[in-house]
Amino acid sequence: MTIKTLLATTATLAALSTAAFAEGEVIGFSQIGSESGWRAAETTVTKSGAEERGYTLQFSDAQQKQENQIAAIRSFIAQGVDAILVAPVVATGWDAVLTEAKEAEIPVVLLDRMVDSDPSLYLTAVGSNLVHEGEVAGQWLAETVGDKECRIVELQGTTGSSPAIDRKKGFEQGIAGHPNLTIVQSQTGDFTRSLGKEVMETFLQAENGGKDICALYAHNDDMAVGAIQAIKEAGLKPGTDILVVSIDAVPDIFKAMSEGEANATVELTPNMAGPAFDALEAYWKDGTEPPKFIQTESKLYTQADDPAGEYEKRKGLGY
Ligand code: AHR
């Protein structure tokens, strides 16, 4: 056997033993619900990733309620699962249940949203820099409008959730230093398309039928898509009369961008589970501690980035 063949064989055996070690592990996943296309995609990617790696995934849909998430985590602990994934609906109120998981020596990985608990209570968190996402959206708007007066309406995500808090803060940072840009209305649309439309209707009424609005900033694409419908029903052209910038990069926003009805989106990958599973496998194997935060990329897409092509690429991905 040549040294090259020996090295290749050793590497293959090492990979096989890690896979065999992790195969059959049971993971509990407490998902928030299905409020958005992005959330649906995250669920799909997590389920298929678990299946590919040979894990048993116990899935629990919390229907937007923290108490359901806490009950699901307690049930995973009682079952003695090998790990717990949780996408926490809000940032506060997790200390007790995370302490229980820690005492049971079950590693917890946070997905896409953060908590304000002590980081020693979870193994790692996989997510984007949520403040940066908002900042990118704000900077894009500031550059796009230049010196023009711009009255902005903002659709916030779920109250008390880390993306709603951080995307608001980041956007405000992005437009800071541009006194011609002002947020004149800001309310939650709970990350849903239906509430995005409803709240946008009240913004339009309050702002001279929408004529006084220069731009909409939505904390996710689904709310933006709902708002686009409201703008059209008010007789205005979204994307032209009212600029639209949001976050997620789901297929429907690319469709809207390709039709000129939305202007920009900041991508949030739905594949949070891949890095989470990699971290867990290393931890199960020899106790390797991952960094406390595993950051995913955030990329800005505008109408110049072939939105029709992006739509085609993404439309079958479980969104
Ligand atoms: O936590 C991530 C956010 O939650 C996504 O941006 C949004 O679409 C979802 O509901």
DSSP secondary structure string for all residues of 75-106: HHHHHT-SEEEE--SSSSS-HHHHHHHHHTT-
CB atoms within 10 A of CB 222: 31
pLDDT of res. 77: 98
- Taking the CA of residue 221 as reference, the ligand 1 atom at the shortest distance is 8
Between the CA of 246 and the centroid of ligand 1 the distance, in Å, is 11
Do the beta carbons of residue 141 and residue 175 sit within 8 Å?
A: yes
Residue 74's identity, in one-letter code, is R
Between the CA of 36 and the centroid of ligand 1 the distance, in Å, is 7
Q: Whole-structure pTM over 0.75, yes or no?
A: yes
Between the CA of 182 and the centroid of ligand 1 the distance, in Å, is 25
The closest alpha carbon to 217, from 101, 139, 309, 119, belongs to: 139
CA 63 and chain centroid, separation: 16
Element (DSSP H or E) covering residue 137? helix 130-145
Burial classification of residue 188, based on how many CB atoms lie within 10 Å of its CB (0-12 exposed, 13-18 middle, 19 or more buried): buried
- Taking the CA of residue 247 as reference, the ligand 1 atom at the shortest distance is 6
pLDDT of res. 316: 86
The token pair that represents 91 in the structure block: 């940032």
pLDDT of res. 318: 85
- Taking the CA of residue 219 as reference, the ligand 1 atom at the shortest distance is 6
Taking 3-state DSSP, the helix, strand and coil percentages for the chain, each rounded to the nearest 5, stand at 50, 20, 35
- Taking the CA of residue 37 as reference, the ligand 1 atom at the shortest distance is 8
Q: In what order do the strands lie in the sheet with 215-218?
A: 181-188, 150-156, 215-218, 243-248, 264-267, 300-302
- Most informative mutation of 31, 32, 39 for ligand 1 (most atoms within 8 A of CB): 39
- Taking the CA of residue 248 as reference, the ligand 1 atom at the shortest distance is 6
Q: Atom 2 of ligand 1 has which residue's CA nearest to it?
A: 112
The 8 Å CB, 24+ separation contacts for 289-296 are 289/123, 290/123, 290/124, 291/124, 292/119, 292/124, 292/125, 293/124, 293/125, 293/127, 294/124, 294/125, 294/126, 294/127, 295/127, 295/128, 295/129, 296/126, 296/127, 296/128, 296/268, 296/269, 296/271, 296/272
Q: How long is the chain?
A: 319
pLDDT of res. 54: 97
Residue 57's identity, in one-letter code, is L
Return the biggest CA–CA distance within the chain. Answer: 80
CB atoms within 10 A of CB 24: 11
Do the beta carbons of residue 25 and residue 284 sit within 8 Å?
A: yes
**Residues of the chain whose pLDDT is less than 50?**
1-19
pLDDT of res. 17: 47
pLDDT of res. 3: 37
Burial classification of residue 191, based on how many CB atoms lie within 10 Å of its CB (0-12 exposed, 13-18 middle, 19 or more buried): buried
For residue range 58-115, list pLDDT tens digits in order. 999 999 999 999 999 999 999 999 999 999 999 999 999 999 999 999 999 999 999 9
- Check residue 146 and give left, alpha or beta (phi > 0: left; psi -120 to 50: alpha): left
Using CB distances shorter than 6 Å, the residues near ligand 1 are: 35-36, 38-39, 112-113, 163, 191, 220, 222, 247-248, 268
Between the CA of 11 and the centroid of ligand 1 the distance, in Å, is 38
Any bridge partners for residue 195, and if so which? none
The closest alpha carbon to 55, from 276, 301, 235, 253, belongs to: 276
pLDDT of res. 267: 98
Between the CA of 87 and the centroid of ligand 1 the distance, in Å, is 10
